[in-house]
Amino acid sequence: MTRLLQSPVTVMTLAAVMFFTTLWLLLRTLPLGQVAPADKALPVAEDDPSWKFRNPDIDQWVSQIKNERDALAVREQQLKEWESRLVAESREIASVTQAVSRTQLEFDKRVLLFTEQQKDNAKKQLKVIADMTPDGAVAMLNEMPDDEVARLLYTLKPDISGAILDAMSKVGGPSAKRAAALTERIKDILQIPTNNPPTNVSP
């Protein structure tokens, strides 16, 4: 019997029985659900997570960055509007320039400076006009188109063409208006730049 009680197996078995018996009694004495919860520890500033930390300087920097970003957005919008306006104005200027170029080209075609092939015929006409009186020349030129008359007057010597225009103006009425229009036409011819200047045909 003494050997049985001194056996390690017996001792371990008794210890286990006593442990579980004591645990069972404790569980019956303290029913579950009645254990008072421990007081919650108050949060300490040092225990707060980093994302809850707020720095006034950082907030100010963030606010400045937002303001600068908004200002840049406004500036970008203004630049886009100015760019659109410049593009529209450039197109308008290009359109006007093209219109002026077309007008100039059409006028150059009508301006009617003598070509090499016209010189012989022009010499004959100019000789006839130069030998006539201003009044007779006016009567002859009244039967000719304005462009051709302008060419002839432009090619004549200034004293002869001036006398003819003066005689035309003295007639009055439509002839006076035509004399003024021909004078302006001759001025326009003089202002046109050309790589091949007209050849004055002397009578």
Q: What is the rounded average pLDDT of the residues 37-46?
A: 52
pLDDT, tens digit (0-9, with 9 covering 90-100), for 92-145: 898 888 888 888 777 666 555 555 556 667 788 888 888 889 998 898 888 888
Q: Which residue has the higher pLDDT, 50 or 183?
A: 183
Separation of alpha carbons 15 and 110, rounded Å: 133
In this predicted structure, what is the pLDDT of residue 197?
46
Q: Give the residue ranges of DSSP H helices in 112-173.
A: 119-131, 134-141, 146-155, 158-171
In this predicted structure, what is the pLDDT of residue 107?
65
In this predicted structure, what is the pLDDT of residue 99?
85
- Selection from 146, 143, 182, 154 nearest residue 166 by Cα: 182
Residue identified by tokens 């007057």 is 153
In this predicted structure, what is the pLDDT of residue 129?
87
Residue 203 — very low, low, confident or very high, per pLDDT cuts 50/70/90? very low
Separation of alpha carbons 168 and 175, rounded Å: 6
Q: Which residues contact 199 (CB under 8 A, 6 or more apart)?
A: 114, 119
Out of 5-9, 60-64, 154-158, least confident range = 5-9
pLDDT, tens digit (0-9, with 9 covering 90-100), for 76-88: 999 989 988 899 8
**Cβ atoms within 10 Å of 132's Cβ, excluding its own:** 16
pLDDT, tens digit (0-9, with 9 covering 90-100), for 2-21: 665 566 777 777 778 788 88
Task: Judge whether residue 35 has pLDDT over 70.
Answer: no
Residue 195 — very low, low, confident or very high, per pLDDT cuts 50/70/90? very low
The length of the chain, given as a count of residues: 203
